[in-house]
Structure 1
Amino acid sequence: MKKTLLLILVMSRMAAGQSEYQASTLPPALKENAHAVIRRHETVFSVESAGEATQRIRSVVTVLDEQGDGHSRMVVGYDKLSKVVNLEGALYDATGKLIKKLKKPDINDYSTYTDYNLFDDNRVKSASFPKQPAYPYTVEFVVETLERNLMFCPTWMPQDDEYVSVEQASFTVNMPAGLALRYKEMNIAAPRKEESLINGGKAYVWTLTNSPAVELEPLSPPAREQLPIVYTAPTDFEVQSYKGTITSWSDLGRFYYNLNQGRDRIPDDLRQRVIDLTKTETTTAGKVRKVYQFLQEQTRYVSIQLGIGGWQTIEAEKVAVGKYGDCKALTNYAQALLKAAGVTAYPALARAGDKEPDLQANFPSFQFNHVILCVPNEKDTLFLECTSSHDPAGYVGDFTGNRHVLLVLPEGSRLVKTPMYRAMDNCQQRRATVTVNEEGDASVDLVTCYTGFQQDDHVNAIHSLNPEDQRSWLLKRIAIPAFELDSFSFRKQTGAIPSVTERLGLSIRRWANASGTRLFLPLNLMSALSPATPLTQPRQTPVELGPAYDFDDSDTITYQLPRGYKPEYQIEPLTIESKFGTYQAKLVMDGERVVYIRRITMHRGRFPAPAYAEWVDFRKKIAKADRTQLVFVKRS
């Protein structure tokens, strides 16, 4: 009887193990809206000491269609502080039959070096299976690593794609006695389990089961706010003999300050040069502008990622000689130059990127990927992007704007906010003269001034593209059918809110539609908005209008009609107001000239779910107004 029970138990476990490779055992609910299903995802992070940990991740994923093929590839990064101990993989067909196992020749190992990564010890191991002729199929990967940088602990997000569902996933962190784990949970229904281990250690376990794919609604909050996620961080850590403690942002700032203290010395001749450069400036802002311009003219940005060097700057003296540095080095160098000019400045750790979320302000941890410089100046604090060769002093754009940064002070480091750029900072002011002939063809002289966020792409094109590539870039951006770009030019202006003025000469075929004695003339030349995606079911999540919706656009388009044409009817002024913004449009008639004036002002914000219906209505009305045509009739 005992042997029979044992045999049954073994067979049941084998059957359970095989079922995770069989597509037929998938619950139907997990296949809805999904390109792939995570059958098993097991992460075990075991901390051995303040300076070393091991991690083992086993994932089994059933791929349902071509859009899920990305799961058949595994990429693991490593450097001198981490080591890939093991990488295994296997491929199964829909029935769970083994097709292929990874072999050593299937695993590629290469550097992540790029032309701006001058010094970089980051490498990648990559493995993938060939494209399969039929779906579904299942892939399994096992990755084991040794970590010697416990400044960072894992962030667990098993469902990191809204088109992926999860059958079973678990996250275990094993901590030894004397070391504490800090964590933050979001969107986790199952409670965390805390279990005692031998010798006084603890294990923290999170689980997720039968979580369906999430179909994100239009303009919903980002996926990280809707999908399960667990952030973890150490209390005590050690990296290459550098020890640190994090229980507050002040602790983190103190570690960074001590790591980089004393690296801001510059040669005496350079110090005197800075003094001479700024001696006629009587204000802090004036000195900052002079020093920042000097920095931009004399240095270039490179990336340096070497162990603790990812956080410890090279000395300012070396930057002065080599004239290059990464974000840390150039920020430290600029701080040293300003110190010579009598201006106090401090580094600020940032999570940079126009698509990056703001950091978790209530969870002190290493969430940063960039460093900028902060110059306190009474009520007009300046932030400097020291890696930029062309941004004006004090402008940080959407790369590091409107987010928390950690101001690193000798004592009492703290979070502060970088500038927020609002609608009146992000403008598009367009004036155009359009001459239309009787066939409907038009010649256009168009001048547009872009400011703030709206000038960012243009100023990058000015500095990174040659004239031929600038022309190609413009051709892709101009939303007019059947046109020729006859001429173009750019003029850049610096300031707290920089601007770019763009001048275009265009020839448009059949802009107006000629029919008999009538001309049907579209009024909106280049700024028409499309309607929003309508609701198909009750809205569940808030409406999130991000920084891209904080703008003020105005158009003044003067149309010169052929002789003898007059408008068949008048169009009344239109104003559309909502909680999201305001739209205005009107016409001014002057004989054979018509002036079309349009302005739309939008504001970022988060609105309750029911507001989406209002958003759809608002955009529908705007789209209709932007499609307005005016009919002209030729006098007999």
Structure 2
Amino acid sequence: MSPELLKSSDAIIRNSELILELKSVNKLVIYKRRVVTVMNEDGDRFVDAYENYDDGIDIEEQMAIIYDESGNEIKKFKKRDFKNQSNYESFVLFSDNRLSYLDYTPRKYPYTVEYISEVESVNSAFLPDWYPLVGYDVSVEKSSVEFLNPENLPFRHEERNLENIDFSKEVSELRLRYEARNIPALEYEILSPAFTDIAPRLLLATDKFELEGVAGEAQDWDTYGKWMYDSFILEHDKISQSTVSKISRLTENAESIEEKARIIYDYVQQNTRYIAVMLGIGGWEPARADEVDRLGYGDCKGLTNYTMALLKTQGIESYYSVVNGNQQIKDLDPEFPQMQGNHVILNIPDEENNNIWLECTNQDIPFNYLGSFTDNRYVLRVTSEGGELIKTKKYLNKENVLKKEAKIWLDEKGGFKASLERVSAGIHYEDYYLREKKDQEDLEKEYREEWGKFNNLNFESIHLNNDRRNIQFKENVDFSGTRLAIKAGNRFLLPLGFLKPYRLNPEKDDNRILPLKISRGSIYEDVFLYYLPEGYEVETLPKAKVVASEFGHAIISVKKIKEGALTALEVKRSIEIKEGEWGPERYNDFRNFIVNLNQVDNSKAVIIQSNI
């Protein structure tokens, strides 16, 4: 084994074989053989000795052998020795999906696991992608995938990010084989693109397939969307007349699409709850609207379809939309139509054809707010005419605003009392709005964790206002603490950045490999007013500072003001960090930009006793 493969590796994949045999549209056999040497505890996650199964997936073979550092066999696991459990948590009401997994705790590192499995599925809708490199901090000695197509069924494949690895390939109508060798470990680097966007992989899909006995097609997104509509959406919109009458009464004074949709969305949030359904075709087909109406619960598919049906009763067209839900922005692949997506949301075009987006599984989220789970990415809008890829809302810099205003009264020991107002909007809203659901004890705990630089925090009052209409969350907090100003003789050093605008402190990296990516830009606006203790005056103030870069800019100013008999320092800070993607060579430039911002933020005023 090459020494290069040991570098930065928690595990080494010695050999990984994936063989897919498509015997027919309703019979797919998946064979795996995987040999992994685990170097330390962090490498345990790369063993991957498990299989998912349900009524349509049978595990024909499953075994594992554990070897010690010298290659001696330690333990052997047969199929009956694997642990078995439900694949989902308590919020899943109906599921036949289960997990068979190797439960092994090593006594010593390194050790090696050889894992073999064979699975037979009636579903050909999901041909697994081949990832020769499966994650960060793992290297690969050899990895291969083979696709056998004895019935000569039409299939497609596409390479992604393979140009920088050593691989070979053989491709024909009946057989495809790729093999990669000697891939060194890739270390995680902060502020980089999603792993799936940079990792080498091979995509596979058939033009025709079966899903739980339902025949389907996916030559393109239009065809796929049409199949999804005809198979799963059509005639799922029946609603009882009593509910139709109720919705009509609620919306009778509303005039616009948005007004009516707001009322209906509020009705759905007040009268339903989320529960997952993963049983057979129910994992893909939404529950009928009348069923959700009767039961008062549903999963993302059922609740989206239910909301769509309620809108339809008022003459409003809306569209079931399939999305990859993830904090990292992940598109449905425009160039490679296949079964993709893990979530469903609702799209409503208004009178001017502006898109309204509804997350139907969340009882607390505002109307037309998505947040980072589904923002700014391609989704499949499913219509009766077919499918089309459209982008969800992108939250612009000017919308992603976090504002703080604080009055801070200093005491003669360096402590303080403060009255803070913080307003979060855009993507920042999701970080705070659920605080209104918390009790006083939990709120104080969160603030103590957030403002941990202060000692002895005490809270006099906490008032929260969730403006769901304008999608802003306001916090008004009166609190006190110690260790704000640092005493030096008869002087105090007063840090002017009362509360940091962001949590970003990137380390220097002269060997950066991955691109730098800021997925969402932000603006931070702060005004801090420090009231000096009686008998103190300002000795020195830092100068105003402007920091400008292609990554963003900052303007910070400090001035002394008088409010009656009180002397105060007014600190104004405006910071913008821009969205964008840059080559790895620009990482240290970005870091220097943040360092400059932090240095300004850490600047101090000197105050002194005036009667000495």
Tell me the TM-score normalised to structure 2 length. Answer: 0.95
- Asked whether the 8 Å contact 1:218–1:533 carries over to 2, the reply is no
Cα deviation digits, residues 324-343 of structure 1 (max 9, x gap): 11111111111111111121
CA contact (8 A) 1:438 1:514 kept: no
Report 1:34-433 matches (<5 A).
34-72=9-47, 74-103=49-78, 106-133=81-108, 135-188=109-162, 189=165, 190-195=167-172, 202-259=174-231, 260-355=233-328, 357-377=330-350, 378-433=352-407
Q: CA deviation at 1:614?
A: 1.8
State how far apart, in whole Å, the 2-side matches of 1:108 and 1:541 are.
Answer: 38
Q: 2:439 matched to 1:439?
A: no
| Offset, 1:108 | 0.9
* Residue segments in structure 2 that go unaligned for 5+ positions in a row: none
Q: Is the 8 A contact 2:63 2:79 kept in 1?
A: no
Contact 2:10/2:38 (8 A) holds in 1: yes
Does the 8 A contact of 1:531 with 1:622 survive in 2?
Answer: no
1:481 corresponds to which residue? 454
Assess if the C-alpha contact under 8 Å between 1:194 and 1:203 holds in 2.
yes
Report the count of equivalent residues: 600
Distance, in Å, in 2 between the alignment partners of 1:353 and 1:111 is 23
Structure 2 residue aligned with 1:17 = none
Name the aligned partner's letter for residue 453 of structure 1.
I
Q: Given the alignment of the two structures, is residue 536 of structure 1 paired with residue 513 of structure 2, yes or no?
A: no
Corresponding position: 1:564 with 2:538: no
| 8 Å CA contact retained: 1:152, 1:366 | yes
> By how many angstroms is 1:225 displaced?
3.0
In the alignment, is the contact (CA less than 8 A) between 2:400 and 2:427 conserved in 1? yes
Contact 2:64/2:77 (8 A) holds in 1: yes
Structure 2 Cα separation of the partners of residues 438 and 472 of structure 1? 27
Picking from 568, 573, 577, the partner of 1:602 is 577
User: 1:311-355 CA distances to partner (integer Å, 9 max, x unpaired)?
Assistant: 111111111111111111111111111111121111111111213
1:493 is aligned to 2:467? yes
Q: Is the 8 A contact 1:485 1:504 kept in 2?
A: no
Q: Is the 8 A contact 1:29 1:212 kept in 2?
A: yes
Counterpart CA distance in 1 for 2:513 and 2:184 is 16
Letter in 2 for 1:164: V
- Give the secondary-structure state (helix, strand or coil) at the position aligned to 1:354: coil
Q: Which amino acid aligns with 1:253?
A: G
> 2:185 is matched by which residue type in structure 1?
A
Q: How far 1:105 moved relative to its partner?
A: 5.7
CA contact (8 A) 1:483 1:506 kept: no
For residues 457 and 617 of structure 1, what CA distance do their matches in structure 2 show?
A: 27
TM-score by length of 1: 0.91
1:73–1:129 contact (8 Å) kept in structure 2 = no
2 CA distance for matches of 1:99 and 1:178?
43
**CA shift at 1:248, angstroms?**
0.3
SS of 1:238 mapped into structure 2: strand
Residue 499 of structure 1: CA displacement?
1.2
The answer to whether the Cα contact below 8 Å between 2:542 and 2:603 also exists between their aligned partners in 1 is no
Structure 1 gaps of 5+ residues are: 1-25, 196-200
1:455-513: CA deviation from partner (whole Å, max 9, x where unpaired): 212223333x4433233233222243314131323210013x51111122222112111
Aligned residues with identical type, % of pairs: 29
Greater mean alpha carbon deviation, residues 213-222 or residues 56-65: 213-222
Q: CA deviation at 1:31?
A: 0.3
CA distance in 2, matches of 1:371, 1:34: 37
**Aligned partners of 2:590 and 2:270: how far apart in 1?**
47
Would the aligned equivalents of 2:510 and 2:588 in 1 still touch at CA under 8 Å? no
Which residue identity is paired with 1:524?
G
Matching residue's letter, 1:226? I
CA contact (8 A) 1:110 1:123 kept: yes
C-alpha distance in 1, partners of 2:208/2:80?
Answer: 40
1:321 maps to amino acid: R
Aligned mates of 1:315, 1:61 — CA distance in 2: 46
Q: What residue in structure 2 maps to residue 449 of structure 1? A: 423
CA positional deviation for 1:128: 2.7
Q: Do the aligned partners of 2:329 and 2:374 also contact (CA within 8 Å) in 1?
A: no
CA offset digits 1:358-416 (Å, max 9, x no partner): 22221111111111111111242211111110222211111111011111111132101
